[in-house]
Amino acid sequence: MSGMDSLESTLAALAARFDDALAGAANAHALDEVRVAFLGRSGEVTAVRRGIGTLPPAERPTAGKVINAAVEAMEAKLAAARTRLESAALERSLEDSIDVSFPGPAANIGAIHPVRRTAIDVARYFTRHGFAVVLGPEIETDANNFDALNIPPDHPAREGLDSFYLRPDLVLRTHTSPMQVRSMRKHGPPIAIIVPGKAYRRDAIDARHLYMFHQVEGLMVGRGIHFGHLKGMLLGLFRELFGPWADVRFRPSFFPFTEPSAEFDVKCPACDGQGGTCRTCGGSGWIELGGSGMVHPNVLRAVGYDPDEVTGWAFGCGLERIAMKRHDMNDIRAFVENAPGFAAGLA
């Protein structure tokens, strides 16, 4: 047998012993013992390398290459075995610490702000009755915010002390009513919309006023629309918001964009309309919520509608005011003070 034949036979036997030892290595420590025994400085491969010097000079380069190839194969098997052992150890640790079939803990995601919840509930009521929810810009033209709504130039609301003017013809909208104008100019009658959104007024901040607040506006215009439709819609709304016991009353009032006009109140939920010493309603038994009325003919003409052909009603009220009464709050500032847990405490 030649020297190379003997070397290859020795390496084949060595590889078989290495495979057997590798198969018996059950952990990282045992795997390292196999590495040292075969590939370490005093390992079996080193002993084989020392035998190269006994070969004829012409065979020695080839013998070195054969031994190197055998070493590379062993190292690849060691790396694969190490990966298998690490994966098995990870799986065992997961099985010991995590039950993947067990429900996870509930996420702490907070609660919807009560003003937003109120807006959602109002919009849900009206969309169920066929109304469209529309949104609009918070920076409005003076014409849309005042002129088209029949608010005369000498009206106090148009003074700089009451409204936020950005320039003579632009204002932070003082109500969501400009979307009545925009929607009617874009769509012919019949029309039924609900408009939630922010409004801005130069009010001093106190327990009942903020300079930025949320309002919701409702509008319905078509043939044969009358005040009775408005009363029915608002009664249904507040019974949904406050409960089936809720009642609504209308008091004659004046607004430039409606005629006739009325303020509407809801029966106090705290005292059931009894008044007396009730803190929620101040003893009146009723809570003022907003204004309403039949759309003024001048407003209909301003948007291109014919007041001899169609009529309509509109209403507007503050969402904070509704939310305060739903949650028996007496200070509007709590909505914007960013107190942790505030919304969750009212949920």
- Ramachandran region of residue 239, left (φ > 0), alpha (ψ -120 to 50) or beta? alpha
Quickly name the fold that domain 114-346 has. Answer: BirA Bifunctional Protein; domain 2 (3.30.930)
Q: How confident is the model at residue 97 (pLDDT cuts 50, 70, 90)?
A: low
Residues paired with residue 216 on neighbouring β-strands, in sequence order = 196, 317
* Predicted confidence (pLDDT) per residue in 152-181, tens digit: 888 777 776 688 999 988 999 999 999 999
Q: Read off the tokens for 146.
A: 């005042």
Higher-confidence position of 16 and 223 = 223
Q: What are phi and psi of 317, to 5 degrees?
A: -155, 160
Higher-confidence position of 84 and 161 = 84
In 3D space, the residue among 186, 196, 204, 149 whose CA is nearest the CA of residue 171 turns out to be 149
> Is residue 343 pLDDT above 80, yes or no?
no
pLDDT at res. 98: 64
Distances (CA, A) of 282 to 118, 208, 278: 23, 14, 6
Q: Are the C-beta atoms of residues 194 and 316 closer than 8 Å to each other?
A: no
Which range, 53-57, 78-82, 212-216, 333-337, is most confident?
212-216
**Three-state SS at 307:** coil
> Is residue 73 pLDDT above 90, yes or no?
no
Q: Read off the tokens for 127.
A: 């969309």
The burial of 161, by beta-carbon neighbours within 10 Å (0-12 exposed, 13-18 middle, 19 or more buried), is given as exposed
pLDDT at res. 291: 94
Distances (CA, A) of 18 to 14, 81, 167: 6, 12, 88
Q: Are the C-beta atoms of residues 210 and 332 closer than 8 Å to each other?
A: yes
pLDDT at res. 21: 82
Q: Where are the alpha helices (DSSP H) in 98-147?
A: 114-128, 142-145
Cα-to-chain-centroid distance, residue 178: 27
Q: Read off the tokens for 260.
A: 């006739």
Share of the chain above pLDDT 90, in %: 41
Higher-confidence position of 282 and 238 = 238
Higher-confidence position of 132 and 100 = 132
Share of the chain above pLDDT 70, in %: 94
Q: How confident is the model at residue 345 (pLDDT cuts 50, 70, 90)?
A: low
* Predicted confidence (pLDDT) per residue in 260-308, tens digit: 999 999 888 777 778 778 777 777 888 888 999 999 999 999 999 999 9
Q: Read off the tokens for 211.
A: 């300079």
